[in-house]
Amino acid sequence: MPSVPPRRLIAHLDMDAFYASVELLRYPDLRGLPVVIGGGRRHQPETLPDGSRRYARLADYAGRGVITTSTYEARALGVHSAMGVMKAAVLAPQAILLPVDFEQYRAYSRRFKAAVAELAPVIEDRGVDEIYIDLTHLPGAQDAVGHDPLGGARAIAREIKNNVQRSTGLTCSIGVTPNKLLSKIASELDKPDGLTVLTLDDLPTRVWPLAARKVNGIGPKAAAKLTGLGIHTVGDIARCERAWLVEQFGRSYGAWLHDAAWGRDERPVVTESEPVSMSRETTFERDLHAVRDKARLSALFTELCTELAQDLSRKGYLSQTIGIKLRFDDFRIVTRDLTLPAPTSDAQAIRRAAGECLKRVDLSRRLRLLGVRGGKLMRQAAVDARPPSPARRALPPRAAEPEPTYNLPLFEPLADADS
C-alpha cells in the first residue's frame, strides 16, 4: 500500500504569443509574418472589395502606444512586449500592426482552461494565458514508460497540449517538475510549442546557467543588487552561502533566494474555485403528489441521483453528505441530509441515502420541485492516494436523528435494496 506520499508532479502551462496567436486564427493569411499587437484601437484591418484585407504596418504608425505582444517572427527582429510601437517600427517597419481585442482573448482563455480541466482538474489560474496544474494524482502520472521514469507525466502533458490545440487551435508550452517555481522556469525553456520535464538532477545543466531574473520572484531590484554583488546566474546564487544571502537580503528573502536556486518550493497548487457541493434539481411542470404520482416522482428522483453521480464522476469528486431539497406547492422549502460512512459517487448509494433523507419529510403536500445534492466533496484522486485507515473504515454510520413516522408510501425502493 502507498505509505510514502507520491512525488509531486506540477505543470506550468503558458500559451505561446497568446494575443498574437488568437489574432492569427481570424487572419490566417498573416501566418509566418512578423505581427505586432498593440498601439490602441485604431488601425483595424480593412477588407477590400475583392475580399482581400489591407493591414496597417508599423512604419505607418504615429503615437505613443506600446506593444502588448508579437509573433515569434517579430521577436526575431528584436520586437518585444512593452516596447513603444514607434521604437519597434525602426526595427521592423514592415511588421503588421493589429489592435487588441481583450474580449476575444478572454474567450480563448476560458476555452483553453476548460480543455485542460477535461483532463486535469486541479488547476491554479495565473492570469489570462497561464495556469499551474497538479498532475500528481492523475491516473498513470507516476508511471515509468520504458526507460523514462517520468514517461507517464510526459504523456499526460502531451495529451493536455493536444487537447488545448484541438479546442482552440493554439499552441502552448508546458514545464513539468516537482514544484511551481521550477515549472514556471521550465515552461519557457522550449517555447513555443514546448514540453520540458525536469527533475532536481537537471538543475545544474538546465537551470543554473540561466540569468537570475528568470526566477519568478527575482524582480529588477533584486536582480540589480545581485549583479552589484557579482551574482548573475541562478547557479551563482546556488553557490552562495545561505547565511551570506540572509546577511545581504534579509532573513526571509535571503533564505528564499537560496531555496529557489536549489529548486526548493513546497507551495501547493491552489484551486480557487473548488466546488463546495454539486446538485441537480428539477421543477415539475405540474405539482406532483407523493402518493398519486408515486411512479413519476420515483423515476425523477432516481434520475436526479444518477445525474448527480455522473456529475461527480466526470469532475473527479466523491461526496460524503447527500442531501435532498423539496419545494412544496405552498413554496415552502425543506432540506434534509445524511452523512455517509465513506464518500461515494455511486448512483445507487446516492439514491439510497437520498431515500433515507426523504423518509424524514412529511409528504402530505404536493411538490413543485425536487433536488438532490452532494456535499462534503473530496477529490477522487486524493481519496485513492491515501493509505487505507482501519479507523476510518470502522467508523460507524452517524446515527440517524429520531424522526417522526409518516404513514405515507414513499418512493419505490431501489432495485438492489430488495435483494
Task: Residue 208: name its binding partner from Mg ion, ligand TTP, none (Cβ under 5 to 8 Å by kind).
Answer: none
One symbol per residue from 346 to 385: x for binding ligand TTP (CB under 6 A), - otherwise; what is it? ----------------------------------------
Q: How far is 390 from 152, CA to CA, in rounded Å?
A: 31
Q: Which is nearer to Mg ion, 20 or 212 (CB)?
A: 20
* Distance (Å, whole) CA 157 – CA 380: 20
> Cβ distance 344 to 398 under 8 Å?
no
Kindly tell me which residue out of 81, 165, 313, 321 binds ligand TTP, with binding defined by CB under 6 A: 81
Q: Which of 8, 68, 165, 412 binds ligand TTP (CB under 6 A)?
A: 68
Quote the cell numbers at residue 98. Answer: 493589429
Nearest partner of 357 among 334, 389, 332, judged by Cα: 334
Q: State the nearest-atom distance from the C-beta of 190 to ligand TTP, in Å.
A: 11
- Residue 130: active-site member: yes
For the CA atoms of the chain, what is the radius of gyration?
29
> Would you count residue 165 as binding ligand TTP (CB under 6 A)?
no
Which is nearest to 130 in space by CA: 102, 159, 164, 179?
Answer: 164
Please tell me whether residue 84 binds ligand TTP under the rule CB under 6 A: no
Is there a contact between 312 and 278 (Cβ–Cβ < 8 Å)? yes
Q: What is the DSSP string of 168-187?
A: HS--EEEEEESSHHHHHHHH
| Residue 137, amino acid | H
- Among Mg ion, ligand TTP, none, residue 75 binds (CB under 5-8 Å by kind): none
Strands of 100-150, DSSP E: 123-125, 130-134
Active-site residue (options: 23, 73, 130, 307): 130
Please tell me what DSSP assigns to residue 233.
B
17 binds ligand TTP (CB under 6 A): yes
Sole binder of ligand TTP in the list 69, 177, 233, 380 (CB under 6 A):
69
Residues in 7-46 at the binding interface with Mg ion, rule: CB under 5 A: 14-15, 18
Interacting residue ranges for Mg ion, rule: CB under 5 A: 14-15, 18, 129-130
Interacting residue ranges for ligand TTP, rule: CB under 6 A: 14-19, 68-69, 81-82, 128-129, 191-192
Catalytically annotated residues: 130
